[in-house]
Amino acid sequence: MTLDRRTFLSRTALSAAGLSSAGLLSACAGFTGSDEGSGGSTGELTFTTWGTDSELAGFRRSIDAFKKANSGAEVVLNAVPYEQMFTNIDAQLQSGEAPDLFRVDYDNLGTYAGRGQLLNLEKLVDPSLGEEFTDAMWQAVQFEDAPYGVPHHTDTSAILYNKGALESAGVTSVPTTLDSAWTWDEFEAVALKLRADLPDDRYPFAYNWQQSGVTRWLSWLFQADGRFLADDLTTPAIDSAAGRAAVDFTASFFPRKLVPANSSVKSSVYASDIFFSETVAMTFAGAFLLPDADKLASFGWGATFSPRDARGGGDLGGNALVATADAKNPELAAEFLTFMTTRGPMEDFCKGSSLLPTRKDLVDRGIEFAVRPELSTVFLQQASTVRPADAEQVASPSMAQINTVLSDQLELAFTQGQSTEETLANMTSGIAEATAS
Amino acid sequence: MTQEARVRAPAESRPASPSSGEGPSPRRSRTRRLHDAVTGYSFLAPNLVLIGVFLFLPLVWALLISFRETNGFGDGDFVGLANYQRLLSDPAFWRSLANTVLFTALVVPLSLLAGLGCAVLMNSVLPARGLFRTLIILPMAISGVATALIGVLVFDQNTGIANKLLGAIGISQVPWQSGGTAAFISVVLVTLWWRIGFNMIIYLAGLQGISPELYESARLDGAGPWQRFRFITVPMVGPSTFFLLVMNVIYSFQVFDIIFVMTNGGPGRATSVLVTYAYERGFSTREQGYAAAIGMVLLLVTLAFTALQWRYSRTRDLVE
């Protein structure tokens, strides 16, 4: 666990301080912008993002290609640690010092759009731009039927498993197609086999819902074919048979010791860390963790699909790129956003960073990650389980408050024995309060 | 200053001759007072500006924000005392307040006692005391976040050193991260480890100011080690204790980094304190008005405790 955390922290620090090396990497750019040499637009844009080394290198290559295509344009990249990203952006927006562009996760996009902080791209981008993206991802950047960003990449969780631990427990095969993904019952049976085989200080699996990952719990709700917001996107809809099934099932992991007691939603222990340290035999993880797993897991491991219940479902990971409402050059900002989601830059970024594309053509054709390319298809297929209706709920402007409600109530259900009925009732009142404010 | 003023200044600064029977004239006296005041305020000005800009201005600003309902952007709407009324019916706020008081009640006396104990040891003829002093002071030199990350390593309930050591002596695993009481104890222990060094330094300075003659005369009068500690050391470090009491109470009420990194207020709200709760409200849900109201309550509670300590401390000004 520590090794991974240290690696992450040191990467972040290096990323912030070492953009020059990213620039060096960009010299080896593997794609060319579609408008190369056209002369194009002029002006300067400021762009704030966080990122791993490979993500920053990908951004730098895309920026260089944009500048090559628009010889009078300058894009200043400002890399900050993720932990400071949104408190900084909030403060900069409040003080009128915000960058022209920034990277934002889909949970937060609605919060900024709903508070008038983002540039409405409806009249600045080609009206057919939305057709380039999968329906769910284009939906994820909408607010009141207008686009407020572009879906730059996505990610979703699948299961990483320790091959030796599964074999030892008698689990000799794992699903290899999305259609044959474990049902909840099958997944539970695998977890119980592992529980019976593992010593007391090791556990069958960990789920990646810790801290800001609490939104990932919603995958269980979606798999049970539930919603947390009704069609009007303000009325709570979580108190349902699907909601009960999701809370019941996930809360039952703790007393049965299927997950470590310290892996609840408010824990400072991350699921991937305890997988790398072999405390758990399986973990739910996004594709972005594949490079870390490749370096840190000293055992044989593979990936399979998340379980399904009434249907398959996954979390809406990844990030959009947005322009701020007060961007100095809105046309150039929109042009940059469009460019970043053209096929070349997106494919290059996703391959290098182990992230999933949002463009239909890339999804259809498939991409291969630079690390463990054979696992790309697992994550690509898993991402197809995210439906537009799921995405529009997660993109709610109240999502930040809803996440706090989910975190508080799930923590009580998982660690304090709060009943499912009380948990759902509290979630309902909390979500209603969040969407009313 | 003009040449004439420079020439006249020494004469003005001389005291009036007692035999002359007359003091400085009222006009000269006023000029001198004015001059002294200007000089004094000139020296104070940099600090006053810093305190004004970085302490009082944000304080007033926070008070004004606490009367508004905000969503993270813009000025928000004036809601009067609504945020304070909401606090009264918010169970998470009351839990956080109770945790803050409990944390303070545990950490302050324990850290003072441990700090004084270490200082007495380090003030005696202890072999390699320089090394021990350095080891105890070391946590002070690193940030609270780094200390807390070390705390996470020690108290990780699956792979941490604490449970491995307890297991080695046959004690069952303690749920440091999933049990409310154990998690609270873990943050108290890490805070103590972080804070004892500072308390020891202050006490050490206080101890070295006590005259050895006091101990010698007590020994001649037949006082034993405990009596010398109880009736000489403890009262004579009274000013240090008072200073540390005030500082530690303030630090404890404002605890944030260690809890934020180690437990994030969990499990449940078992380790949530006022500042982590205010942070959660201010930055996660972007309710800065409500967070500011929590901050104002924290300020009032801290001021009240400090005033009580000031009023009832009998040894704060004790000198030989």
Gap from A420 CA to chain B (nearest CA, Å): 15
Q: Is A308 strand, coil or helix? A: strand
Look at A266 and B264 and tell me if their CB atoms are within 8 Å: yes
Mean pLDDT value across residues A277-303:
94
Task: Return the bridge partners of A280, or none.
Answer: A203
pLDDT in tens, B222-245: 999 999 999 999 999 988 998 999
- Pick among 1.10.580.10, 3.30.300.30, 1.10.3720.10, 3.40.50.720: CATH of B90-312: 1.10.3720.10
Distance CA A281, CA A275 (A): 7
Which residues form the domain of A182?
157-315+398-436
Token duo for residue B3 = 């040449």
Mean pLDDT value across residues A246-274:
93
Same domain, A311 and A376: no
Does the residue A234 lie in any domain?
A: yes
- At residue B2 the predicted structure's pLDDT band, cuts being 50, 70 and 90, is very low
Gap from A347 CA to chain B (nearest CA, Å): 33
Question: In the β-sheet with A280-286, what is the strand arrangement from edge to edge?
Answer: A203-206, A280-286, A157-162, A301-304
Distance CA A216, CA A210 (A): 9
> Using CB atoms, which residue from B149, B262, B286 is nearest to A400?
B286
Give the residue from A350, A366, A387 where a domain finishes. A387
Query: In this structure, what DSSP letter does residue A374 have?
Result: G
Domain boundaries, chain B: 23-58, 90-312
Contact A270, A208 (CB under 8 A): yes
Q: A16: exposed, middle or buried (C-beta count within 10 Å: 0-12, 13-18, 19+)?
A: middle
Same domain, A404 and A417: yes
Does the residue A63 lie in any domain?
A: yes
The pLDDT of residue B132 is 83
Same domain, A116 and A134: yes
Does the residue A194 lie in any domain?
A: yes
Distance CA A320, CA A112 (A): 12
Mean pLDDT value across residues A193-216:
94
Mean pLDDT of chain B: 86
pLDDT in tens, A361-393: 999 988 899 889 999 999 999 999 999 899 889
Same domain, A130 and A240: no
Whole-prediction pTM value?
A: 0.79
Look at A268 and B173 and tell me if their CB atoms are within 8 Å: no
Mean pLDDT value across residues A417-422:
95
- At residue A82 the predicted structure's pLDDT band, cuts being 50, 70 and 90, is confident
Instruction: Please count the structural domains in chain A.
Output: 2
Mean pLDDT value across residues A193-214:
94
First to last CA, chain A: 39
Q: Sort out which chain A residues have CB atoms less than 8 A from B71's CB and list them.
A: 115, 437
Q: Sort out which chain B residues have CB atoms less than 8 A from A437's CB and list them.
A: 71
The pLDDT of residue B24 is 64
Look at B266 and A261 and tell me if their CB atoms are within 8 Å: no
Same domain, A178 and A273: yes
Same domain, A134 and A33: yes
Same domain, A416 and A379: no
Contact A324, A100 (CB under 8 A): yes
Nearest residue in B to A200, CA atom: B158
Same domain, A118 and A231: no
Least confident of A32-46, A304-318, B57-71: A32-46
User: Which of A6, A257, A268 to probe the B interface (max B CBs under 10 A)?
Assistant: A268
Does the residue A393 lie in any domain?
A: no
Gap from B139 CA to chain A (nearest CA, Å): 19
Q: Sort out which chain B residues have CB atoms less than 8 A from A10's CB and list them.
A: none
Q: Which of these, A165, A278, A260, A415, lies nearest to B173 by C-alpha position?
A: A260
How many Cβ atoms from other residues are within 10 Å of residue B96's Cβ? 24
Same domain, A216 and A165: yes
Token duo for residue A370 = 């630079």
Does the residue A392 lie in any domain?
A: no
Same domain, A220 and A307: yes
> Using CB atoms, which residue from A111, A262, A266 is nearest to B265?
A266
Look at A262 and B157 and tell me if their CB atoms are within 8 Å: yes
